[in-house]
A and B are shown apart, each in its own frame.
Chain A
Amino acid sequence: RKEVEQDPGPFNVPEGATVAFNCTYSNSASQSFFWYRQDCRKEPKLLMSVYSSGNEDGRFTAQLNRASQYISLLIRDSKLSDSATYLCVVNWGNTGKLIFGQGTTLQVKP
């Protein structure tokens, strides 16, 4: 089993659509979770941290289910500029070692 698993996609959606990405992780001792965004040939950039209570930042909502070891990212009202790869990231057992999923590619079309 991979340490952090994501559906690689690609997800092709029209502008305005709602899209959800899922991620599972295998280390139950992990305490910190993140979603990063990576544009083509660029470095990953922090999109948002993920908290147990769930958190929202504008059109983006992140959820964490510790019991199921499952993380999600919901994007509402998709924009063309949301087209990118979204990386699920786990701070492995809180060691500072970040474990990345393979990434999910989103393509938003007009």
Chain B
Amino acid sequence: ETGVTQSPTHLIKTRGQQVTLRCSSQSGHNTVSWYQQALGQGPQFIFQYYREEENGRGNFPPRFSGLQFPNYSSELNVNALELDDSALYLCASSLAGRGYTFGSGTRLTVV
């Protein structure tokens, strides 16, 4: 059984650029959630996808968007990057909300 994998592991972008982060969910999981974790804080919920539809969103602006594909993998896109977007981005997968497994995250630095 494969776990949740995220890519890339580290990324440096310039303010104003766009970024795409990727997540492969655990085998058999149909729900993917994305979280942003700033230094010294707990993860903050960005949004969740279930069977390719967004079914929950946190307090993040529209420049944070996502997709879920038929194989349940997912992307997080962030447009017009700001310095405050620098954080660890975590993806978690579950089977219809039962038990959440996290990937090791993508550390994004915006300069």
A residues bordering B, Cβ < 8 Å? Answer: 4, 41-46, 87, 91-92, 94-103
Distance to closest chain B CB from A30 (angstroms): 13
Contact between A43 and B103, CB atoms less than 8 A apart: yes
Question: Which residues of chain A are near B41, meaning CB under 8 Å?
Answer: 102-103
Q: Is the interface of B mostly helix, strand, loop or mixed?
A: strand
From B13-21, B65-73, B75-83, B90-98, give the one contacting chain A.
B90-98
- Give the distance in Å from the alpha carbon of A35 to the alpha carbon of B97 in the complex: 16
Ordered by A's residue number, 27 sampled pairs between the chains whose C-beta atoms are within 8 Å are A41-B88, A41-B107, A42-B104, A43-B105, A44-B43, A45-B102, A46-B99, A46-B101, A87-B43, A91-B97, A96-B31, A96-B48, A96-B56, A97-B33, A97-B56, A98-B33, A98-B35, A98-B92, A99-B45, A100-B35, A100-B42, A100-B43, A100-B44, A101-B42, A102-B40, A103-B41, A103-B42
Q: Which of B6-24 contact A (CB under 8 A)?
A: none
Tally B residues with Cβ within 8 Å of A: 27
Question: Which residues of chain B are near A45, meaning CB under 8 Å?
Answer: 102
Distance to closest chain B CB from A20 (angstroms): 19
Question: Which residues of chain A are near B88, meaning CB under 8 Å?
Answer: 41
Distance to closest chain A CB from B42 (angstroms): 3
**Partner among A4, A96, A101, A103 whose Cβ is within 8 Å of the Cβ of B55:** A96
- Give the distance in Å from the alpha carbon of A44 to the alpha carbon of B56 in the complex: 21
Q: Does B28 interact with chain A (Cβ within 8 Å)?
A: no
Of A4, A44, A94, A103, which is in contact with the most chain B CB atoms at under 10 Å from its CB?
A: A44
Distance to closest chain B CB from A58 (angstroms): 20
